[in-house]
Structure 1
Amino acid sequence: MTSRPPPTVYAHPGEHLADCLAALLWRLQERAGRGTFERAEVAEREALRHAREEATRAAFGPLPLDRLAALCGLSPFDVDALLAVLGAHLRPEMGALFAELQGRADLRAPSPELLATLLATPEQRAQALLRFAPGAPLMAWGLVAFAGSEPQRTTRALSLPLLTDVQVLGWLLGTEALDPREQPWERLPAADPAWAGAFGAALDALIRRLREAGPVGATFVQLRGPDAVEAEQAARALADRAGLRLFALDAQLLLAWAHQSEGRLRGQLRLLEREVRFFGGALLVREADCLHERSAAPALERHACVRALLDRGGLTLLHADEGALNAAFTGAHAHWLELDLRDGAITRRAQCWERLLGGDAESLPEALRPEALAASHPLSLAQVEAVAQTARGLARARPDGEATLTHGDLSIALERHTRRELGAFAREITAHYRWEDLILPPDSVAQLHELCSQVRQRHTVLERWGFRERLQTGLGVHALFCGPPGTGKTMAAALVARELGLALHKIDLSTVVSKYIGETEKHLGQLFREAAAGNVVLFFDEAESLFSRRTQVEDSHDRYANLETGFLLQQIEAYPGVTLLATNLSDNLDSAFLRRLGFVIDFPFPGPRDRLRILQTLLPPRTPRADDLDLEYLAERFHFAGGNLRNVVLHAAYSAAREHAPLSMKHLLRAARRELLKLGRPFVSADYPEYRAVFEAGV
């Protein structure tokens, strides 16, 4: 007796589907009394099919039909009914049989009544018909549907023909490209290897926490961070590590479905969930801030979306940066985790810069080395790649043929990709001062350099040394410049911004502060959001008007003024960039505000020696000078701040140019007198006997 050879595995899912349809056709024909079959032959073929199925499962895992049945909770009757509906179109003999049994040549699709008659015993027929109820798996998962428009929920529906979703056929055939419809969700590809590596440690820790949580009804992971591209890449990398396919849709689409009806919302999510389950996937909900309790979305629609997401189970990733969503997504069987993409962001940027700059990084100044760039320019990884690509293009375009990346290439590329307007609330200040132009006490200058160093060293302190884990807020660098007008506060702000390679934006307080309740907070919120996106240095001049001491509440105006101050303090503390503030009246500032500052730098009124240095700095070497020029006398006798001295020198230079004469004491003294009168200070020519004749001669 010869042994039977081992069964061969199914080479393709379509081959298995064909065998299943053939076996079902034999059973249907037998039940309908059509055709003659040798029972032994049919039994042998069935045994061979089962053997091949087991061999295929052992070699490759569950077959597509197995997975669909398990994921949708299909009974054996459901599987046969689904195959029958498919077979009506795939096997002409099966379609002809259904048409013959229903007495209409054009009615090749079976009805629930016909399938219950053919696939169930008379005792099981009533229960079989219930398998086509709206909440039963076949209908609920959209595996079969009634042909034509949706029928009324009457017994007439049981005699209507059934059709199946073409996407279901695609899955059973092992292809995803059969459905011609454009789905409102996306199937996202695997993560870019460079991005996946950047998120490695954080994702590994999150995967461990997911596994420790064990099986729960629904698991949510909120991805917190301002950049949508980075959040999506992190989600793709997380799905890859978990061995899941990732599907994505926008939260606004959920709200739109909920606006039509909760039934529409749940129906669409059920179709999505069918696909997610079949491929073993997770769902990413983009821009989920609109699901927050404080969002402007209608509460009924927002709550419907939250309930539907809770009910779907599985793993849902939500990108939302405005605040924690866990208060909205609470449930008895819900598990909540967060991944803050701002944690480790500097390290990821530094690694990305290092990879993209390569050996050229060694020839760049310290401010443009990978770690310094990562600390001072909080760009997304996509923006880093765009900046590097632009810089490389500029290097290749140079006429000298030298493609090595230079300081100029990278600086221009950074400006192109990070330059941002802050609307009506601020104006950009561009200045080309040098550090030697700033005349201040050594300690004040040292603090300014320390401020710049602190920005550059954030990578080391916050990431490498772990301070970010201890400091949830106050991660930006904030400084207050205190001193009389004209002592160099704006110049210092410009120097700091230039040293860091960032744009400086001076806040126009007249556009920020509003007499209408709530408008100031709205303006400030918009200002800080745009500033964070553009990575700019914010400069508040006359800060005492916004950061003044909070008053005792005596009426509603006092209460709202205090609320504005409190809101502003929160915005400053949360701002991740550099904030510089200038004031002439430091005694009027709120003490809570002063506690939030890393630096308070003094800009004192200059004495005679500093005034002389300022005058010497203000006069360019090419300026023609008369022999009587006595800068020491001017510095000693006229008590001006640096800004006033600038006005004096500039006005004197124009007067000399008008006369086609070199700059002399006559021009400087007359300009000084004009500056005194402009400031409302008394001028008596007798106080300057050495030059009395100059003053009495007039302008």
Structure 2
Amino acid sequence: MKTQISDTSNTENLHELMMALDSVRQTLKQQISYVQDQTANTQGQSANCTPSHASALGQLCIIFGLSSFERDILVLCAGMELDANLPLLCAEAQSDPQRPYPTFSLALAMFATKHWSAITPSSPLRRWRLIEVGPGTVLTLSPLRIDERLLHYLMGEQCLDSRLAGLVKPLTLTDSPIRCQTIHQELTAQMIAIWQQSSHITPPIQLCHGDRFSKWEMVAAAAAQLNRKLYRLSLAALPTAPDDLNTLACLWEREALLEQAMLLLDCEEGTDPSREQAIVHLLESLHTPVVIISRDRLPWQQASLITFEVPPLSFDEQRSIWQHILRSNESMDAQVNSQIEELVCQFNLSVSSIQSAYATALSQQRNHAMDPETALWNACRVQARPRLDDLAQRITSRANWNQLVLPQSQKQILRETIAHVRQRAQVYERWGFSTVGSRGLGISALFAGVSGTGKTMAAEVIAQELQLDLYRIDLSAVISKYIGETEKNLRRIFDAAETGGAILLFDEADALFGKRSDVKDSHDRHANVEVSYLLQRIEAYRGLAILTTNLKEAIDQAFMRRIRFVVRFPFPDAQQRREIWQQIFPPQMAHTLDLKEDSKKLARLNVSGGNIRSIALNAAFLAAENGEPLNMKHLLKATQNEYIKLERTLTAAEVEEWEAQ
């Protein structure tokens, strides 16, 4: 049922209301005469003004199923706000100057169509809070007042209830000429069909996965086609106290009926146990259209949900959107058109994110004289960061190939890894390998070696070469003792990373990725499930996933076969250690040492690259504190401290050629 209030002028609404009020006023005067004459022959009659269905009063009666008696009570209460003489008439009709207001007792006495059920809590007047019963010791003698929202409605004014204004916000459809190119039209049509087919109770709909703004657009498009207003309720604004929830449910359902509105409950930020029951309570209380959006499916058996999974835009759709946007800028279009497929292959962005990336790139190009290709690539990286920044540590990549001291065979594997990432668009999309199946398309690498041998630096070099963000994930922090929580944590990380195809560096892979355990109990079985889930996500991940381990032998061979690249980081020999020492000092400090000779002496220290960096840095602080240029004396002291930390003894052979300075 659709309201016709919008087709009726405020003047007509006021005219209808005044006619009904005049009839009630005449009945009230008859009641006064009856009280004064004490004769039953002048018993008041029901107001004989029947409002048209097109008027606000007529619509109100239809929407809430008001009887003639209930309508007359509502008009009587409205009259208190519109007629300054009505309080005096009410007091006179009740023979009590202390009661200049309507009461149920007065209504029962003056209207012939009276029925007791109209004053019960389940009646439309009280169930929908159309009137308020004021304080008093006797129900029938307590003052009655029309709800403010209803008064404005009767006057032809649509305004959101003030008690809802701080909780729900209007959500409108943005003007986007490229929306019709997305795959979300079909889901929007399915939602519309569900609401159109529902006669009384409308089941809540859940949209999970996908990005928030695409889901907003879908629901807004559906609301627009149904000629409904859409309001958004954020999870943070949802009350948890039962009384507050009941009030919210009642006020919102009334608002939905009055304004033909629908509600979007935004749970994109995730839920917690304290709010899950509040959500279920609200969904079970409402019988008007509600859509709940969330990143993950919410498997609440208490609430009956119709769930749709919102897929991301396909490769072709994203490419089409980029082409549409770039056509408006001929200069940029000509320069970056060949880059579109690489952008789409690397960054899995929504319509709104693509538009934001384009606007950011334009700003960077104008304000910083940046070339269009770099500006657009960096803008896409920025769009992809927010969700992952909350889940993992972003590492700023500054390392280059010259700083990475590794045998050439290992460096060659790293270069092949980079080539696989760089050529994904060519192999997967242009040559069609992605159509064969999604399994195995993810690019993974295992870096094995003791701590300090350059595993993290190698990941930085790859990120720097590919101009991608690098995120470190501590697997020991991801693993949970609670069944199902580890998969949930991993899912959040991979889902967030999919947007930008970031490089994921999983530290301490041995914590989860060790030898497959024999299944002796449910915990062993679930540990294997966690490992299988991680491997599945790595194989399907559109970016590069790197696992690090201090002990390659700890990795099950069954899992090793599913990892594309394996790089062993050996403990550096004397020549490699010398190269590391020669590169560890910044140019402005290198002149204080004779790196050609001193690096040969320093290379005798049997330590890894990580320890070398620690010694060099600590020596610099010692020199700075003493107000002296960095020299071998400071390096010797820093080395002694480092060996204490390693619980090792500094041998004479390691320092026999060092000269005291």
> 2:299 aligned with 1:325, yes or no?
yes
Within the candidate set 480, 489, 494, 1:525 is matched to 489
Mapped partners of 2:399, 2:71: distance in 1: 76
Match of 1:691 in 2: none
Mapped partners of 2:440, 2:109: distance in 1: 71
Within the candidate set 133, 151, 156, 1:146 is matched to 133
Say what the alpha-carbon RMSD is for the aligned residues: 5.1
> 2:289 aligned with 1:310, yes or no?
no
Q: Deviations over 1:649-681 (max 9, x none)?
A: 6489999967869x6xx88877776669999xx
Match of 2:397 in 1: 430
What is the letter of the counterpart of residue 343 of structure 1? P
Within the candidate set 548, 552, 560, 2:514 is matched to 548
Q: How many residues align?
A: 583
What is the letter of the counterpart of residue 150 of structure 2? V
> 2:484 aligned with 1:512, yes or no?
no
Structure 1: which 5+ residue stretches go unaligned? 1-8, 37-45, 607-637, 680-694
CA contact (8 A) 1:427 1:508 kept: no
Q: Deviations over 1:297-342 (max 9, x none)?
A: 27xxx44652442342222101222333353323xxxx613142x4
When residues 480 and 405 of structure 1 are mapped into structure 2, their CA distance, relative to the original with a 3 A threshold, is closer
What is the letter of the counterpart of residue 391 of structure 1? A
Q: What aligned pairs does 1:580-595 form with structure 2 within 5 A after superposition? A: 580-583=546-549, 586=552, 588-590=554-556, 593-594=559-560
- SS of residue in 1 equivalent to 2:108: helix
Between the aligned residues of both structures, percent identity stands at 22
What is the letter of the counterpart of residue 266 of structure 2? R
Mapped partners of 1:436, 1:678: distance in 2: 11
More deviation, 552-561/577-586:
552-561
Q: What aligned pairs does 1:141-540 form with structure 2 within 5 A after superposition? A: 141-147=128-134, 149=135, 151=136, 156-177=138-159, 183-194=165-176, 197=179, 201-208=183-190, 210-211=192-193, 214-215=197-198, 217-225=201-209, 227-258=211-242, 261=243, 264-287=244-267, 295-297=272-274, 302-303=276-277, 305-325=279-299, 327-330=301-304, 336-340=306-310, 342-344=311-313, 350=319, 353-357=322-326, 358-362=329-333, 364=335, 369-379=339-349, 381-398=351-368, 406-410=372-376, 413=379, 426=393, 428-433=395-400, 439-440=408-409, 445-454=415-424, 477-481=442-446, 493-507=459-473, 512=477, 517=481, 525=489, 529=493, 532=496, 535=500, 536-540=502-506
Following superposition, the deviation at residue 133 of structure 1 comes to 1.0
Match of 1:81 in 2: 73
Mapped partners of 1:489, 1:530: distance in 2: 21
- SS of residue in 2 equivalent to 1:109: coil
What is the letter of the counterpart of residue 17 of structure 1? L
Match of 1:627 in 2: none
Within the candidate set 19, 40, 45, 2:16 is matched to 19
Match of 2:26 in 1: 29
CA contact (8 A) 1:488 1:643 kept: no
CA contact (8 A) 1:289 1:319 kept: no
What is the letter of the counterpart of residue 247 of structure 2? G
More deviation, 304-313/420-429:
420-429
When residues 175 and 594 of structure 1 are mapped into structure 2, their CA distance, relative to the original with a 3 A threshold, is farther
Following superposition, the deviation at residue 454 of structure 1 comes to 2.8
- SS of residue in 2 equivalent to 1:120: coil
When residues 646 and 520 of structure 1 are mapped into structure 2, their CA distance, relative to the original with a 3 A threshold, is farther
When residues 543 and 380 of structure 1 are mapped into structure 2, their CA distance, relative to the original with a 3 A threshold, is same
Mapped partners of 2:296, 2:131: distance in 1: 41
When residues 78 and 585 of structure 1 are mapped into structure 2, their CA distance, relative to the original with a 3 A threshold, is same
Mapped partners of 2:493, 2:13: distance in 1: 57
Following superposition, the deviation at residue 164 of structure 1 comes to 0.7
Following superposition, the deviation at residue 14 of structure 1 comes to 3.8
- SS of residue in 1 equivalent to 2:120: coil
Q: What aligned pairs does 1:556-571 form with structure 2 within 5 A after superposition? A: 565=531, 568-569=534-535
CA contact (8 A) 2:487 2:533 kept: no
Following superposition, the deviation at residue 498 of structure 1 comes to 3.4
What is the letter of the counterpart of residue 77 of structure 1? F
> 2:116 aligned with 1:129, yes or no?
yes
CA contact (8 A) 1:99 1:106 kept: yes
Tell me the TM-score normalised to structure 1 length. Answer: 0.67
CA contact (8 A) 1:247 1:276 kept: no
What is the letter of the counterpart of residue 254 of structure 2? R
Mapped partners of 1:576, 1:266: distance in 2: 45
What is the letter of the counterpart of residue 407 of structure 1? E
When residues 456 and 518 of structure 1 are mapped into structure 2, their CA distance, relative to the original with a 3 A threshold, is farther
Following superposition, the deviation at residue 219 of structure 1 comes to 1.8
- SS of residue in 1 equivalent to 2:203: strand
CA contact (8 A) 1:434 1:495 kept: yes
CA contact (8 A) 2:77 2:146 kept: yes
Match of 1:98 in 2: 90
Following superposition, the deviation at residue 109 of structure 1 comes to 2.9
Mapped partners of 1:560, 1:353: distance in 2: 43
Mapped partners of 2:443, 2:204: distance in 1: 35
More deviation, 415-424/79-88:
415-424
CA contact (8 A) 2:205 2:306 kept: yes
CA contact (8 A) 1:481 1:602 kept: yes
Mapped partners of 1:641, 1:203: distance in 2: 64
CA contact (8 A) 2:133 2:145 kept: yes
Mapped partners of 2:396, 2:317: distance in 1: 31
What is the letter of the counterpart of residue 12 of structure 1? S
CA contact (8 A) 1:196 1:233 kept: no
Mapped partners of 2:609, 2:309: distance in 1: 59
Tell me the TM-score normalised to structure 2 length. Answer: 0.71
Following superposition, the deviation at residue 143 of structure 1 comes to 0.6
> 2:91 aligned with 1:120, yes or no?
no
Mapped partners of 1:254, 1:381: distance in 2: 29
Mapped partners of 2:333, 2:308: distance in 1: 37
CA contact (8 A) 1:375 1:456 kept: no
More deviation, 164-173/537-546:
537-546
CA contact (8 A) 1:246 1:281 kept: yes
Mapped partners of 1:677, 1:208: distance in 2: 61
CA contact (8 A) 2:357 2:379 kept: yes
